[in-house]
């Protein structure tokens, strides 16, 4: 269970995020709503352990590696799609040979040997999500994950994520349309 209490993140004099309280249970799926600049990305980064809060606390969030963030503008490492997934697997002591099956779950096994810089926007997204899922995280944070995905891609990704029972999934915004989703509204903090 993740507990957020009195969370404030400031960048110089600008308050990027205020969140008095948020509890997320194991296996729960949460959609984060809010206008531009309301702090959705900042909240994701704090939960991922990539951003220190200025004030308040986040309790129960597993460390990076067990909490995985898919960035708004995700980055694929140099190399092929399969090598990207293999990289994540190796970090967790698993066989890189599993990479193919993770790409298959996301419907992109046919591009396993294609270099990252030769992928289309939708393929890029699917490989990034395959790489994140391959880690089998306890908490999966998806920051605008479905940009560039077509309808079929959206269905495939949703199905792959839904198969992860027990994993906390937090998405901003909540395009996880086939999940039992709880919505959290963020207000602008300016």
Q: Which stretch binds another protein (CB under 8 A): 24-32, 74-82, 102-110, 151-159?
A: 74-82
For another protein, the binding residue among 19, 22, 48, 86 (CB under 8 A) is 48
How far apart CA 147 and CA 48 sit, in angstroms, is 20
How far apart CA 125 and CA 105 sit, in angstroms, is 13
For another protein, the binding residue among 33, 115, 177, 182 (CB under 8 A) is 115
Q: Which stretch binds another protein (CB under 8 A): 15-23, 83-91, 147-155, 162-170?
A: 83-91
Nearest CA to 18 out of 53, 50, 48, 45 is that of 53
First to last CA, the chain: 29
CA atoms within 13 A on the CB side of 122: 13
List strand residue ranges (DSSP E) for 12-136, in order.
14-24, 29-33, 55-59, 67-70
CB of 49 to another protein, least distance (A): 8
Note whether 113 binds another protein by CB under 8 A: no
CB of 141 to another protein, least distance (A): 8
Contacts (CB under 8 A) with another protein, residues 120-179 = 131-132, 135
Note whether 9 binds another protein by CB under 8 A: no
78: three-class secondary structure by DSSP: coil
For another protein, the binding residue among 1, 14, 21, 50 (CB under 8 A) is 50
Q: Alpha carbon 134 to chain centroid distance?
A: 12
CB of 76 to another protein, least distance (A): 8
Between 136 and 155, CB nearer to another protein? 136
Sheet strands side by side (includes 55-59): 14-24, 2-11, 55-59
Task: Locate 81 and state its tokens.
Answer: 């799609």
Between 78 and 180, CB nearer to another protein? 78
- Which chain residues interact with another protein by CB under 8 A? 48-50, 64-69, 71, 73-75, 77-78, 87-88, 91-92, 115, 131-132, 135
């Amino acid at each position: 269970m993740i507990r957020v209490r009195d969370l404030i993140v400031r960048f110089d004099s600008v308050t990027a995020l205020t969140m008095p309280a948020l509890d997320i249970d194991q296996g729960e799926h949460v959609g984060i709503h809010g206008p531009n600049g309301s702090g959705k990305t900042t909240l994701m980064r704090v939960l991922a352990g990539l951003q220190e809060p200025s004030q308040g606390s986040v309790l129960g969030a597993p460390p990076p590696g067990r909490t995985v963030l898919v960035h708004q503008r995700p980055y694929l490492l140099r190399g092929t799609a399969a090598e990207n997934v293999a990289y994540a697997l190796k970090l967790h002591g698993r066989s890189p040979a599993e990479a193919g099956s993770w790409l298959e779950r996301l419907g992109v096994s046919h591009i396993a040997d294609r270099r990252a810089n030769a992928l289309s926007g939708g393929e890029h997204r699917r490989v990034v999500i395959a790489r994140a899922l391959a880690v089998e995280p306890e908490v999966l944070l998806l920051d605008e994950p479905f940009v560039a995905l077509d309808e079929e891609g959206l269905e495939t990704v949703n199905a792959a994520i839904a198969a992860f029972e027990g994993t906390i999934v937090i998405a901003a915004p909540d395009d996880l349309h086939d999940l039992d989703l709880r919505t959290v509204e963020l207000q602008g903090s300016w």
